[in-house]
Chains A and B, each alone.
Chain A
Amino acid sequence: MKTHKICVLGDFGVGKTSLIRRYVFNAFAQDYHATLGVNLYKYEDEILFEEEPTRLRFMIWDVEGAAEPGPHAERYVVGASAALIVGDATRATALQTVSAYAEMFEEQAPGRPFALAFNKADLIAAPDPHAKLGLQELDARFGVEPLLTSALTGAGVREAFRKLGEQVLAYGL
């Protein structure tokens, strides 16, 4: 079975590691532990693709966060099948940072799918969080419907990674 490299990218402190740990270990810790360089996580999941349960093996790259994508992040995405780009739904700069990472990934890994996740959605008390965060703008710009996630509650986390998995299969990667 082929192993797919999935890069998780974004600003620091947005919850990239927490999302991965929620997905891989179904665990969450309140403490903040900065990631240096990249941490690799192996994980196998079963994804429903074209109504067939399909097993997928991921090598998830938890890449050190930075306010904007730099040469390090560009190097780390070499050979990635897909990327999960994460923003902090409570930060005013989230849209801008996520856009910058999406542009970088499109440039460095053309034709590879990516998903956009706005984490800490449990902290958004708005009747329509998508509208509050202006996420429709990203949908129009990248043709990717942004997802709301919460590593704390687990909401949307499995869905985000599985959506990426479905795209990896759909792209025949």
Chain B
Amino acid sequence: MTAGGMQDASRGAPHAGAALGEEEALLWAARSLFSRGDMAIALLDADLRVAQILGGEKFAAVVGDDALEVFPALIGCEETLERIRSGAEPQALSFENISIHSDGYAPQYVNLRVYLDPHSGHLALVLQDAGETARLQRNLVQQRNELALARQALETARDEALAASRAKSSFLANISHELRTPLNVVIGNAEILRRPRAAALSSAEAADYAGDILSSGELLLDLINDLIDLSRAETGDLRLSESWCDLGFIAHQSLRYATRLEDGRDKRFVETADPHLPPFWGDERRLKQILLNLLSNAAKFSPPGGAITLRVEREPEGRLLLEVADEGPGLDPSELEVALEPFGQLESGKRHKGTGLGLPIVKSLARFHGGDLQIVTAPGLGLRAQVRLPGSRFSPGDSA
């Protein structure tokens, strides 16, 4: 017998046919149970040391040890143990499938239950090696959870596919409308100019009709170019035509073009481009496109007379910052997310001309240059669109 344990199940086993008293039967059953070696009772003294182990060879070596060291699951439970000891806590403390992990240590599952032993007045700790049962249980839990996670992943994928499909349908409906409107102007005006009575039009009237055809054609071309750009960016087929660029020139040109936009005519444009920026390695046309998209976006949403500020500078850590700030209504974060999605179109944006592709295109072009687009905004506080491009694209020998 080890440390007070009952090791021999055959000892005191009932003979066949012999009737047992209730107490004797209980004692025999307990001996059989504890003789398996995977179960034990630890009696704890008042200092929470292991005073005695009954049964369970695996646990015999811990007699005299601090119970909190041997059974770390009891750490933090000292108050509860004291309440159980004093009888203030009628419930036993019970933890199932406890295992102790450290790097490289295989888990050993143990069930643990602490109650007051009414005979000795000591805390009794029932320990059971959950062993094979726990391992089977764990396999079941693993399979159940994996199934549930796979189901969740499928549901998420389905929801995303549906949302993408809805966004594309909505985009197609919107783009059809955007294409039809200028096309109607082109067809309508061309018909007027082709009629026999067209000869009666004054040259100024005829020029107006032709001018509308031209501007509608330009709008259509812009739309189609945007769509091609976005499509190429999405498939990764967009190619940059890179060379050394004069950022001051690009900023100035973009700003000049923006002031001529329909939405830009009644806005105040402010340029704060650093005149001493070194040459920058990039695609000049795409860099202009980035600035123009941001400027036209700002013009679209700014109130009449509102200031639109363009900053082009090298940040202290070396990156190029292209920033357009407006005094428009700004966006809340949920709107911002939609505005940045390739097929997103804000309700507020629908009141204005355009496909709503401006920001996604800027983001793609920035990424193709190795940078990114960041938006700083809040409702009522305007919007600050910031494109940051790698400092490594500046001409060598011109570090900030």
Contacts and interface: CB of A to CB of B under 8 A. Distances in A.
A59 B103 contact: no
Contacts of B336: 127-128
Range, interface on chain A: 35 or more
B95 interface: yes
Interface in A65-115: 65, 72, 75-76, 78-81, 90-91
Nearest to B377: A127
B375 A78 contact: no
Interface centre among B78, B98, B148, B156 (most CB of A within 10 A): B98
A34 B139 CA distance: 8
The binding surface of chain A is classed by DSSP as loop
Nearest to B69: A3
A27 to B, nearest CB: 8
Contacts of A32: 142, 145-146, 149
Given A12-B148, A127-B333, A34 B73 contact: no
B75 A132 contact: no
Contact of A4 (B68, B76, B156, B334): B76
B145 A40 contact: no
Given A79-B78, A81-B76, A132 B152 contact: no
A75 B75 CA distance: 14
Interface string A13-44: 10000000000010000001111111111100
Contact of A79 (B79, B98, B137, B145): B79
B156 A79 contact: no
Nearest to B136: A36
Contacts, number: 103
B76 A5 contact: yes
Contacts of A35: 141
B107 A39 contact: yes
A8 to B, nearest CB: 12
A30 to B, nearest CB: 13
B75 A38 contact: no
A79 B149 contact: no
Given A3-B75, A37-B134, A41-B102, A79 B80 contact: yes
Nearest to B101: A39
A166 to B, nearest CB: 18
B346 to A, nearest CB: 15
Interface of A: 3-5, 12-13, 25, 32-42, 59, 62, 64-65, 72, 75-76, 78-81, 90-91, 126-128, 131-132
| A-B interface, 4 closest residue pairs, ranked by CB to CB distance from nearest | A37-B97, A79-B76, A5-B76, A131-B333
27 contacts: A5-B77, A13-B149, A13-B152, A32-B142, A34-B141, A34-B142, A34-B146, A36-B137, A36-B138, A37-B95, A37-B96, A37-B99, A37-B109, A38-B97, A39-B99, A39-B107, A40-B101, A41-B101, A79-B75, A79-B76, A79-B80, A90-B156, A127-B333, A127-B336, A127-B375, A131-B333, A132-B334
